[in-house]
Amino acid sequence: MSIERWKDHLSGTFLVAAREVREQFRDWRIIFPIVVLTLFFPVLMNYTANRLVNFVQQYDAPIIGERLIPFLLMVVGFFPMSISLVIALESFVGEKERMTIEPLLCTPLSDTQLYFGKLLASLTPPLLASYLGTTVYLIGVTYRVGWRADPIFLIQIFVLATMQALVMVSGSVVISSQTTSVRAANLLASFIIIPMALLLQGVSALMFWGRYTALWWVALGLLIVAGLLIRSGLAQFRREELLEREMDTLNLRWIGQTFWRFFKGEGRSLWGWWRSEVLHSGRKALLPSVLTIFVLLLGGYVGASQAKVFVLPAEYIQENWNSGEIARRLGTLQLLPTYTVGLVWFQNLRAIFLASLGGFFTFGVLGMLVLLLPFALIGYFMASLAQVGISPGVFLGAFIIPHAILEVPAILLAGGAILRLGASFATPARGQTVGEAWLRALSDWAKVMLGLVMPLLLGAALVEMLITPRLAFWLMSR
Protein backbone atom coordinates (compact mmCIF):
# COMPACT_ATOMS: atom_id res chain seq x y z
CA MET A 1 0.00 0.00 0.00
CA SER A 2 1.43 3.39 -1.02
CA ILE A 3 1.86 6.32 1.32
CA GLU A 4 -1.03 8.21 -0.27
CA ARG A 5 -3.36 5.25 0.19
CA TRP A 6 -2.22 4.94 3.81
CA LYS A 7 -3.04 8.60 4.37
CA ASP A 8 -6.48 8.18 2.81
CA HIS A 9 -7.09 5.08 4.89
CA LEU A 10 -6.09 6.80 8.13
CA SER A 11 -8.07 9.94 7.33
CA GLY A 12 -11.22 7.86 6.87
CA THR A 13 -10.56 6.01 10.13
CA PHE A 14 -10.02 9.22 12.10
CA LEU A 15 -13.10 10.74 10.48
CA VAL A 16 -15.28 7.96 11.89
CA ALA A 17 -13.51 8.11 15.25
CA ALA A 18 -13.93 11.91 15.52
CA ARG A 19 -17.63 11.61 14.75
CA GLU A 20 -18.10 8.96 17.45
CA VAL A 21 -16.10 10.86 20.09
CA ARG A 22 -18.08 14.04 19.46
CA GLU A 23 -21.31 12.12 19.89
CA GLN A 24 -20.08 10.59 23.16
CA PHE A 25 -18.83 13.83 24.72
CA ARG A 26 -21.97 15.64 23.63
CA ASP A 27 -24.19 13.36 25.71
CA TRP A 28 -23.87 14.37 29.39
CA ARG A 29 -25.51 11.08 30.45
CA ILE A 30 -22.39 9.29 29.22
CA ILE A 31 -19.69 11.70 30.36
CA PHE A 32 -21.10 12.69 33.75
CA PRO A 33 -21.11 9.16 35.32
CA ILE A 34 -17.68 8.38 33.90
CA VAL A 35 -16.09 11.57 35.22
CA VAL A 36 -17.79 11.46 38.64
CA LEU A 37 -17.06 7.78 39.28
CA THR A 38 -13.53 8.14 37.92
CA LEU A 39 -12.76 10.96 40.36
CA PHE A 40 -14.64 9.46 43.31
CA PHE A 41 -13.03 6.02 43.18
CA PRO A 42 -9.40 7.24 43.52
CA VAL A 43 -10.43 9.35 46.54
CA LEU A 44 -11.98 6.25 48.10
CA MET A 45 -8.83 4.21 47.41
CA ASN A 46 -6.67 6.97 48.90
CA TYR A 47 -8.72 6.85 52.07
CA THR A 48 -8.43 3.04 52.12
CA ALA A 49 -4.66 3.12 51.61
CA ASN A 50 -4.19 5.71 54.34
CA ARG A 51 -6.27 3.77 56.87
CA LEU A 52 -4.55 0.50 56.02
CA VAL A 53 -1.05 1.89 56.29
CA ASN A 54 -1.84 3.37 59.70
CA PHE A 55 -3.31 0.06 60.81
CA VAL A 56 -0.43 -2.21 59.74
CA GLN A 57 2.16 0.14 61.23
CA GLN A 58 0.69 -0.59 64.66
CA TYR A 59 1.76 -4.22 64.24
CA ASP A 60 5.14 -3.56 62.59
CA ALA A 61 3.99 -4.96 59.23
CA PRO A 62 4.61 -2.06 56.82
CA ILE A 63 5.29 -4.42 53.91
CA ILE A 64 1.57 -5.20 53.69
CA GLY A 65 0.73 -1.55 53.16
CA GLU A 66 3.60 -1.10 50.72
CA ARG A 67 2.37 -3.99 48.58
CA LEU A 68 -1.30 -2.98 48.81
CA ILE A 69 -0.79 0.58 47.53
CA PRO A 70 0.47 -0.57 44.08
CA PHE A 71 -2.42 -3.05 43.90
CA LEU A 72 -4.94 -0.28 44.58
CA LEU A 73 -3.23 1.78 41.88
CA MET A 74 -3.90 -1.00 39.37
CA VAL A 75 -7.52 -1.33 40.53
CA VAL A 76 -8.05 2.42 40.12
CA GLY A 77 -6.83 2.15 36.53
CA PHE A 78 -9.07 -0.86 35.84
CA PHE A 79 -12.29 0.50 37.35
CA PRO A 80 -13.06 3.21 34.71
CA MET A 81 -12.66 0.67 31.92
CA SER A 82 -15.40 -1.54 33.32
CA ILE A 83 -17.90 1.32 33.60
CA SER A 84 -16.96 2.71 30.19
CA LEU A 85 -17.36 -0.65 28.49
CA VAL A 86 -20.98 0.13 27.60
CA ILE A 87 -19.72 2.60 24.96
CA ALA A 88 -17.89 -0.15 23.10
CA LEU A 89 -20.71 -2.65 23.54
CA GLU A 90 -23.21 -0.43 21.76
CA SER A 91 -20.82 0.87 19.09
CA PHE A 92 -22.50 -1.02 16.22
CA VAL A 93 -25.61 -2.65 17.61
CA GLY A 94 -26.62 0.49 19.52
CA GLU A 95 -26.61 2.55 16.35
CA LYS A 96 -28.56 -0.19 14.62
CA GLU A 97 -31.26 -0.05 17.31
CA ARG A 98 -31.36 3.76 17.10
CA MET A 99 -31.59 3.43 13.30
CA THR A 100 -28.56 5.69 12.75
CA ILE A 101 -26.22 3.07 11.30
CA GLU A 102 -27.52 3.14 7.69
CA PRO A 103 -26.05 6.56 6.72
CA LEU A 104 -22.67 5.54 8.10
CA LEU A 105 -22.66 2.22 6.27
CA CYS A 106 -23.67 3.92 3.01
CA THR A 107 -20.50 6.04 2.98
CA PRO A 108 -17.63 5.06 0.62
CA LEU A 109 -15.50 4.15 3.62
CA SER A 110 -14.18 0.59 3.68
CA ASP A 111 -15.11 -2.01 6.29
CA THR A 112 -11.63 -1.68 7.79
CA GLN A 113 -11.96 2.10 8.17
CA LEU A 114 -15.39 1.76 9.77
CA TYR A 115 -14.22 -0.91 12.17
CA PHE A 116 -11.01 0.82 13.25
CA GLY A 117 -12.82 4.15 13.56
CA LYS A 118 -15.38 2.60 15.91
CA LEU A 119 -12.62 0.82 17.81
CA LEU A 120 -10.57 3.99 18.27
CA ALA A 121 -13.61 5.98 19.37
CA SER A 122 -14.63 3.28 21.87
CA LEU A 123 -11.09 3.13 23.26
CA THR A 124 -10.72 6.87 23.90
CA PRO A 125 -13.09 7.39 26.90
CA PRO A 126 -11.91 4.31 28.89
CA LEU A 127 -8.26 5.21 28.43
CA LEU A 128 -8.74 8.88 29.35
CA ALA A 129 -10.78 7.87 32.40
CA SER A 130 -8.18 5.30 33.44
CA TYR A 131 -5.29 7.76 33.11
CA LEU A 132 -7.25 10.44 34.98
CA GLY A 133 -8.15 8.11 37.84
CA THR A 134 -4.60 6.82 38.14
CA THR A 135 -3.19 10.36 38.22
CA VAL A 136 -5.66 11.48 40.91
CA TYR A 137 -4.80 8.43 43.02
CA LEU A 138 -1.06 9.02 42.67
CA ILE A 139 -1.38 12.64 43.73
CA GLY A 140 -3.54 11.73 46.72
CA VAL A 141 -1.42 8.83 47.95
CA THR A 142 1.73 10.94 47.64
CA TYR A 143 0.39 13.68 49.90
CA ARG A 144 -1.57 11.52 52.36
CA VAL A 145 0.73 8.51 52.74
CA GLY A 146 4.04 9.76 51.38
CA TRP A 147 4.35 6.85 48.95
CA ARG A 148 6.22 7.49 45.71
CA ALA A 149 6.26 4.98 42.90
CA ASP A 150 9.33 3.93 40.96
CA PRO A 151 9.21 5.43 37.43
CA ILE A 152 9.60 2.00 35.83
CA PHE A 153 6.67 0.69 37.86
CA LEU A 154 4.53 3.65 36.77
CA ILE A 155 5.32 2.87 33.15
CA GLN A 156 4.30 -0.74 33.79
CA ILE A 157 0.98 0.33 35.31
CA PHE A 158 0.12 2.65 32.43
CA VAL A 159 1.15 0.05 29.84
CA LEU A 160 -0.87 -2.63 31.65
CA ALA A 161 -3.90 -0.34 31.85
CA THR A 162 -3.60 0.42 28.14
CA MET A 163 -3.40 -3.26 27.23
CA GLN A 164 -6.37 -4.10 29.47
CA ALA A 165 -8.44 -1.37 27.86
CA LEU A 166 -7.43 -2.55 24.39
CA VAL A 167 -8.46 -6.14 25.13
CA MET A 168 -11.77 -5.18 26.73
CA VAL A 169 -12.73 -2.66 24.06
CA SER A 170 -11.67 -4.82 21.10
CA GLY A 171 -13.63 -7.75 22.52
CA SER A 172 -16.66 -5.54 23.11
CA VAL A 173 -16.56 -4.19 19.57
CA VAL A 174 -16.47 -7.76 18.24
CA ILE A 175 -19.56 -8.56 20.34
CA SER A 176 -21.30 -5.38 19.20
CA SER A 177 -20.70 -6.16 15.53
CA GLN A 178 -22.02 -9.73 15.82
CA THR A 179 -25.08 -9.33 18.08
CA THR A 180 -28.58 -8.18 17.21
CA SER A 181 -29.47 -6.15 20.33
CA VAL A 182 -27.83 -4.11 23.07
CA ARG A 183 -29.36 -6.46 25.62
CA ALA A 184 -27.60 -9.45 24.09
CA ALA A 185 -24.33 -7.49 23.90
CA ASN A 186 -24.54 -6.58 27.59
CA LEU A 187 -25.14 -10.21 28.54
CA LEU A 188 -22.22 -11.42 26.42
CA ALA A 189 -20.00 -8.81 28.09
CA SER A 190 -19.66 -11.22 31.02
CA PHE A 191 -17.24 -13.23 28.85
CA ILE A 192 -15.01 -10.14 28.92
CA ILE A 193 -15.51 -8.88 32.47
CA ILE A 194 -15.08 -12.24 34.21
CA PRO A 195 -11.76 -13.23 32.54
CA MET A 196 -10.38 -9.73 33.11
CA ALA A 197 -11.43 -9.86 36.77
CA LEU A 198 -9.65 -13.21 37.14
CA LEU A 199 -6.60 -11.69 35.46
CA LEU A 200 -6.77 -8.83 37.95
CA GLN A 201 -6.61 -11.34 40.79
CA GLY A 202 -3.61 -13.06 39.22
CA VAL A 203 -1.78 -9.77 38.75
CA SER A 204 -2.58 -8.82 42.35
CA ALA A 205 -0.83 -12.01 43.50
CA LEU A 206 2.26 -11.01 41.51
CA MET A 207 2.20 -7.59 43.14
CA PHE A 208 1.88 -8.94 46.67
CA TRP A 209 4.85 -11.21 45.96
CA GLY A 210 6.77 -8.25 44.59
CA ARG A 211 7.24 -9.87 41.14
CA TYR A 212 6.84 -6.62 39.24
CA THR A 213 8.98 -7.73 36.29
CA ALA A 214 6.33 -10.33 35.44
CA LEU A 215 3.93 -7.47 34.61
CA TRP A 216 5.76 -7.02 31.31
CA TRP A 217 4.85 -10.58 30.34
CA VAL A 218 1.23 -9.99 31.34
CA ALA A 219 1.14 -6.86 29.15
CA LEU A 220 2.68 -8.79 26.24
CA GLY A 221 0.07 -11.54 26.60
CA LEU A 222 -2.72 -8.97 26.64
CA LEU A 223 -1.30 -7.34 23.52
CA ILE A 224 -1.34 -10.69 21.71
CA VAL A 225 -4.94 -11.36 22.75
CA ALA A 226 -5.96 -7.84 21.69
CA GLY A 227 -4.36 -8.35 18.30
CA LEU A 228 -6.24 -11.61 17.85
CA LEU A 229 -9.51 -9.97 18.87
CA ILE A 230 -9.01 -7.12 16.41
CA ARG A 231 -8.10 -9.60 13.70
CA SER A 232 -11.21 -11.63 14.54
CA GLY A 233 -13.44 -8.57 14.39
CA LEU A 234 -12.06 -7.51 11.01
CA ALA A 235 -12.35 -11.04 9.63
CA GLN A 236 -16.02 -11.39 10.58
CA PHE A 237 -17.23 -7.81 9.99
CA ARG A 238 -19.45 -7.34 6.95
CA ARG A 239 -21.61 -4.22 6.71
CA GLU A 240 -24.28 -5.94 4.62
CA GLU A 241 -24.61 -8.72 7.20
CA LEU A 242 -24.91 -6.11 9.95
CA LEU A 243 -27.99 -4.66 8.27
CA GLU A 244 -29.53 -8.02 7.34
CA ARG A 245 -29.09 -9.70 10.73
CA GLU A 246 -32.33 -9.35 12.66
CA MET A 247 -32.41 -12.22 15.14
CA ASP A 248 -29.99 -15.06 15.83
CA THR A 249 -31.86 -18.25 16.66
CA LEU A 250 -30.33 -21.35 18.22
CA ASN A 251 -31.01 -24.13 15.71
CA LEU A 252 -29.62 -27.23 17.41
CA ARG A 253 -30.73 -29.50 14.60
CA TRP A 254 -28.83 -27.48 12.00
CA ILE A 255 -25.77 -27.35 14.26
CA GLY A 256 -25.78 -31.10 14.77
CA GLN A 257 -26.31 -31.92 11.09
CA THR A 258 -23.64 -29.48 9.93
CA PHE A 259 -21.09 -30.72 12.46
CA TRP A 260 -21.76 -34.36 11.55
CA ARG A 261 -21.41 -33.60 7.84
CA PHE A 262 -18.00 -32.01 8.41
CA PHE A 263 -16.97 -34.69 10.92
CA LYS A 264 -17.92 -37.66 8.71
CA GLY A 265 -16.52 -36.15 5.53
CA GLU A 266 -15.94 -38.59 2.67
CA GLY A 267 -15.32 -41.63 4.84
CA ARG A 268 -17.44 -44.68 4.02
CA SER A 269 -15.92 -46.99 6.64
CA LEU A 270 -14.03 -46.58 9.90
CA TRP A 271 -10.68 -47.21 8.24
CA GLY A 272 -11.56 -45.01 5.28
CA TRP A 273 -12.68 -42.22 7.62
CA TRP A 274 -9.46 -42.46 9.63
CA ARG A 275 -7.28 -42.52 6.53
CA SER A 276 -9.02 -39.73 4.62
CA GLU A 277 -10.41 -37.45 7.33
CA VAL A 278 -8.35 -37.95 10.48
CA LEU A 279 -4.98 -37.90 8.74
CA HIS A 280 -6.02 -34.88 6.68
CA SER A 281 -7.03 -32.98 9.82
CA GLY A 282 -3.81 -34.09 11.49
CA ARG A 283 -1.75 -32.72 8.60
CA LYS A 284 -3.53 -29.38 8.92
CA ALA A 285 -2.53 -29.32 12.62
CA LEU A 286 1.17 -29.92 11.88
CA LEU A 287 2.08 -26.28 11.18
CA PRO A 288 0.57 -24.88 14.42
CA SER A 289 2.18 -27.85 16.20
CA VAL A 290 5.56 -26.26 15.41
CA LEU A 291 4.49 -23.26 17.46
CA THR A 292 3.47 -25.65 20.24
CA ILE A 293 7.04 -26.99 20.30
CA PHE A 294 8.40 -23.53 21.03
CA VAL A 295 5.76 -23.01 23.73
CA LEU A 296 6.66 -26.29 25.46
CA LEU A 297 10.38 -25.51 25.30
CA LEU A 298 9.64 -22.10 26.77
CA GLY A 299 7.73 -23.80 29.59
CA GLY A 300 10.74 -26.00 30.35
CA TYR A 301 13.03 -22.97 30.37
CA VAL A 302 10.72 -21.01 32.69
CA GLY A 303 10.49 -23.97 35.06
CA ALA A 304 14.26 -24.40 35.10
CA SER A 305 14.76 -20.70 35.86
CA GLN A 306 12.48 -20.98 38.88
CA ALA A 307 14.73 -23.62 40.46
CA LYS A 308 17.02 -20.81 41.63
CA VAL A 309 14.08 -18.90 43.09
CA PHE A 310 12.27 -21.75 44.86
CA VAL A 311 15.22 -23.87 45.96
CA LEU A 312 14.63 -27.40 47.19
CA PRO A 313 16.93 -28.38 50.10
CA ALA A 314 19.92 -30.30 48.76
CA GLU A 315 19.85 -32.69 51.74
CA TYR A 316 16.23 -33.59 51.04
CA ILE A 317 16.89 -34.31 47.35
CA GLN A 318 20.01 -36.39 47.93
CA GLU A 319 18.49 -38.32 50.81
CA ASN A 320 15.46 -39.35 48.79
CA TRP A 321 17.40 -39.98 45.60
CA ASN A 322 20.21 -42.03 47.16
CA SER A 323 18.25 -43.83 49.85
CA GLY A 324 17.04 -46.53 47.50
CA GLU A 325 13.46 -46.12 48.67
CA ILE A 326 12.36 -44.75 45.30
CA ALA A 327 14.10 -47.59 43.47
CA ARG A 328 12.52 -50.17 45.78
CA ARG A 329 9.05 -48.80 45.21
CA LEU A 330 9.66 -48.68 41.47
CA GLY A 331 10.79 -52.28 41.48
CA THR A 332 7.58 -53.37 43.19
CA LEU A 333 5.40 -50.87 41.21
CA GLN A 334 4.38 -49.22 44.51
CA LEU A 335 5.61 -45.68 43.88
CA LEU A 336 2.07 -44.60 42.98
CA PRO A 337 -0.02 -47.59 44.10
CA THR A 338 -3.40 -45.93 43.53
CA TYR A 339 -2.71 -45.11 39.89
CA THR A 340 -4.00 -47.28 37.06
CA VAL A 341 -3.71 -47.10 33.29
CA GLY A 342 -7.27 -45.85 33.03
CA LEU A 343 -6.72 -43.16 35.64
CA VAL A 344 -3.54 -41.88 33.96
CA TRP A 345 -5.31 -41.85 30.59
CA PHE A 346 -8.28 -40.01 32.08
CA GLN A 347 -6.09 -37.36 33.73
CA ASN A 348 -4.19 -36.70 30.51
CA LEU A 349 -7.44 -36.43 28.57
CA ARG A 350 -8.85 -34.10 31.20
CA ALA A 351 -5.84 -31.80 30.86
CA ILE A 352 -6.19 -31.81 27.05
CA PHE A 353 -9.90 -30.99 27.17
CA LEU A 354 -9.28 -28.28 29.78
CA ALA A 355 -6.66 -26.77 27.47
CA SER A 356 -9.12 -26.98 24.57
CA LEU A 357 -11.83 -25.25 26.58
CA GLY A 358 -9.46 -22.47 27.60
CA GLY A 359 -8.15 -22.14 24.06
CA PHE A 360 -11.69 -21.83 22.73
CA PHE A 361 -12.26 -18.57 24.62
CA THR A 362 -8.75 -17.14 24.19
CA PHE A 363 -7.80 -17.99 20.59
CA GLY A 364 -5.65 -20.85 21.86
CA VAL A 365 -3.54 -18.74 24.24
CA LEU A 366 -4.85 -20.20 27.51
CA GLY A 367 -4.73 -23.68 25.99
CA MET A 368 -1.01 -23.28 25.39
CA LEU A 369 -0.50 -22.16 28.99
CA VAL A 370 -2.21 -25.31 30.27
CA LEU A 371 -0.05 -27.53 28.05
CA LEU A 372 3.24 -25.94 29.08
CA LEU A 373 2.67 -26.45 32.82
CA PRO A 374 3.92 -30.10 32.88
CA PHE A 375 7.02 -29.08 30.94
CA ALA A 376 7.63 -26.25 33.39
CA LEU A 377 7.55 -28.80 36.22
CA ILE A 378 9.94 -31.10 34.33
CA GLY A 379 12.35 -28.22 33.76
CA TYR A 380 12.12 -27.25 37.42
CA PHE A 381 12.96 -30.76 38.70
CA MET A 382 15.77 -31.23 36.20
CA ALA A 383 17.38 -27.94 37.24
CA SER A 384 16.88 -28.77 40.94
CA LEU A 385 18.64 -32.11 40.49
CA ALA A 386 21.48 -30.47 38.56
CA GLN A 387 22.06 -28.03 41.41
CA VAL A 388 22.93 -30.89 43.79
CA GLY A 389 25.08 -32.80 41.31
CA ILE A 390 22.54 -35.37 40.08
CA SER A 391 22.46 -35.87 36.34
CA PRO A 392 19.21 -34.50 34.84
CA GLY A 393 19.65 -36.98 32.00
CA VAL A 394 19.06 -39.90 34.38
CA PHE A 395 15.84 -38.33 35.62
CA LEU A 396 14.75 -37.58 32.05
CA GLY A 397 15.61 -41.04 30.75
CA ALA A 398 14.13 -42.88 33.70
CA PHE A 399 10.91 -41.02 34.38
CA ILE A 400 10.01 -39.06 31.24
CA ILE A 401 11.35 -40.34 27.91
CA PRO A 402 9.74 -43.84 27.76
CA HIS A 403 6.12 -42.67 27.74
CA ALA A 404 6.99 -39.25 26.29
CA ILE A 405 7.69 -40.97 22.97
CA LEU A 406 3.92 -41.29 22.59
CA GLU A 407 2.72 -38.53 24.89
CA VAL A 408 4.66 -35.64 23.37
CA PRO A 409 3.34 -36.22 19.81
CA ALA A 410 -0.15 -36.36 21.28
CA ILE A 411 0.40 -33.05 23.07
CA LEU A 412 1.82 -31.45 19.92
CA LEU A 413 -1.12 -32.58 17.81
CA ALA A 414 -3.56 -31.45 20.48
CA GLY A 415 -1.83 -28.07 20.71
CA GLY A 416 -1.97 -27.64 16.95
CA ALA A 417 -5.67 -28.54 16.88
CA ILE A 418 -6.38 -26.13 19.75
CA LEU A 419 -4.56 -23.29 17.98
CA ARG A 420 -6.48 -23.97 14.74
CA LEU A 421 -9.76 -24.02 16.66
CA GLY A 422 -8.95 -20.70 18.34
CA ALA A 423 -7.67 -19.17 15.10
CA SER A 424 -10.92 -20.03 13.29
CA PHE A 425 -12.50 -16.95 14.89
CA ALA A 426 -9.76 -14.73 13.48
CA THR A 427 -9.81 -16.22 9.98
CA PRO A 428 -12.11 -14.86 7.27
CA ALA A 429 -14.80 -17.37 6.30
CA ARG A 430 -14.57 -17.55 2.52
CA GLY A 431 -17.90 -18.67 1.10
CA GLN A 432 -19.14 -19.75 4.53
CA THR A 433 -20.98 -18.23 7.43
CA VAL A 434 -19.18 -17.68 10.72
CA GLY A 435 -21.06 -20.62 12.22
CA GLU A 436 -20.13 -22.99 9.40
CA ALA A 437 -16.46 -22.00 9.55
CA TRP A 438 -16.35 -22.57 13.28
CA LEU A 439 -18.16 -25.94 13.04
CA ARG A 440 -15.65 -27.07 10.41
CA ALA A 441 -12.76 -26.12 12.72
CA LEU A 442 -14.51 -27.88 15.63
CA SER A 443 -14.92 -31.04 13.52
CA ASP A 444 -11.20 -30.98 12.63
CA TRP A 445 -10.40 -30.65 16.34
CA ALA A 446 -12.71 -33.57 17.19
CA LYS A 447 -11.19 -35.78 14.48
CA VAL A 448 -7.65 -35.12 15.71
CA MET A 449 -8.64 -35.76 19.32
CA LEU A 450 -10.64 -38.92 18.67
CA GLY A 451 -8.52 -40.45 15.93
CA LEU A 452 -4.98 -39.50 17.00
CA VAL A 453 -4.62 -37.90 20.43
CA MET A 454 -6.75 -40.34 22.45
CA PRO A 455 -5.04 -43.50 21.08
CA LEU A 456 -1.59 -41.97 21.56
CA LEU A 457 -2.41 -40.99 25.14
CA LEU A 458 -3.75 -44.49 25.84
CA GLY A 459 -0.51 -45.97 24.59
CA ALA A 460 1.46 -43.47 26.68
CA ALA A 461 -0.55 -44.44 29.78
CA LEU A 462 0.23 -48.13 29.20
CA VAL A 463 3.94 -47.39 28.84
CA GLU A 464 3.91 -45.06 31.85
CA MET A 465 2.43 -47.70 34.16
CA LEU A 466 4.03 -50.88 32.78
CA ILE A 467 7.41 -49.93 31.28
CA THR A 468 8.55 -46.60 32.75
CA PRO A 469 8.72 -47.83 36.41
CA ARG A 470 10.79 -50.91 35.48
CA LEU A 471 13.15 -48.89 33.31
CA ALA A 472 13.53 -46.29 36.07
CA PHE A 473 14.24 -49.07 38.62
CA TRP A 474 16.91 -50.52 36.33
CA LEU A 475 18.60 -47.14 35.82
CA MET A 476 18.50 -46.11 39.48
CA SER A 477 19.74 -49.44 40.82
CA ARG A 478 22.87 -49.45 38.67
Are residues 282 and 234 located together in one domain of the fold?
no
Q: Do 210 and 303 belong to one domain?
A: no
For residues 116-122, give the mean pLDDT: 84
The residue-averaged pLDDT of 347-353 equals: 88
State residue 344's pLDDT score. Answer: 84
pLDDT in tens, 245-281: 555 566 778 788 888 888 888 777 888 888 888 888 8
Domain-terminating residue out of 183, 218, 244: 244
Average pLDDT rounded to a whole number, residues 412-416: 87
Same domain, 432 and 291: yes
Q: pLDDT tens digits for 274-326?
A: 888 888 888 888 888 888 888 888 888 888 888 887 777 777 666 666 655 55
Q: CA-CA-CA-CA torsion for 424, 430, 434, 438, nearest 10 degrees?
A: -40
Same structural domain, 218 and 264: no
pTM score, whole prediction: 0.69
Last residue in a domain, options 194, 213, 244: 244
Give residue 455's pLDDT: 92
In terms of pLDDT, which residue wins out, 273 or 29?
273
Q: Which has the minimum average pLDDT: 47-56, 74-83, 218-227?
A: 47-56
**Based on the domain organization, do 182 and 67 belong to the same domain?**
yes
- Whole-number pLDDT of residue 433: 64
Model pLDDT for residues 425-461, shown as the tens digit of each residue: 666 555 566 677 778 888 888 999 998 999 999 998 8
Which of 39-48, 225-234, 246-255, 296-305 has the least mean pLDDT? Answer: 246-255
Alpha-carbon distance values, 312 to 298, 327, 392 (Å) = 22, 21, 15
- Has residue 61 got a pLDDT over 70? no
Q: Domain check: are 119 and 213 in the same one? A: yes
pLDDT averaged over every residue in the chain: 77
Q: Each residue of 147-173: b (16+ CB within 10 Å) or e?
A: bebeeeeeebbbbbbbbbbbbbbbbbb
pLDDT tops 80 at residue 65: no
> Residue 247: what pLDDT?
53
Contact, 159 vs 217, CB < 8 A? no
Same domain assignment for residues 268 and 177: no
Q: What is the pLDDT of residue 425?
A: 64
At residue 334, does pLDDT exceed 50?
no
Note whether 198 and 127 are same-domain residues. yes
Higher pLDDT, 54 or 414: 414
| Residue 428 pLDDT | 56
- Mean pLDDT, residues 80-90 taken together: 74
Residues 161 and 81 in one domain: yes
Over 70: is that where the pLDDT of 404 sits? yes
Residues 21 and 121 in one domain: yes
In this prediction, residue 39 carries a pLDDT of 75
Structural domain boundaries, residue 56: 3-244
Residue 355 has pLDDT above 80, yes or no: yes
pLDDT at 365: 72
The proportion of the chain whose per-residue pLDDT surpasses 90, expressed as a percent, equals: 2
Specify the number of domains making up the chain.
Answer: 2
Q: Determine the pLDDT at residue 458.
A: 92
pLDDT at 331: 46
For 186-218, write each residue's pLDDT tens digit. Answer: 777 777 777 777 777 777 777 777 677 878 888
**Who wins on pLDDT, 251 or 416?**
416
Give me the mean pLDDT over the 322-347 stretch: 63
Spatial contact of 118 and 14, defined as CB atoms under 8 Å apart: no
Q: Are residue 181 and residue 262 in the same domain, yes or no? A: no
Distance from C-alpha of 386 to C-alpha of 310, rounded to nearest angstrom: 14
| Predicted local distance difference test score (pLDDT) of residue 316 | 66
Domain boundary among 195, 212, 244: 244
Mean pLDDT of 5-18: 73
Identify whether residues 34 and 167 lie together within a single domain.
yes
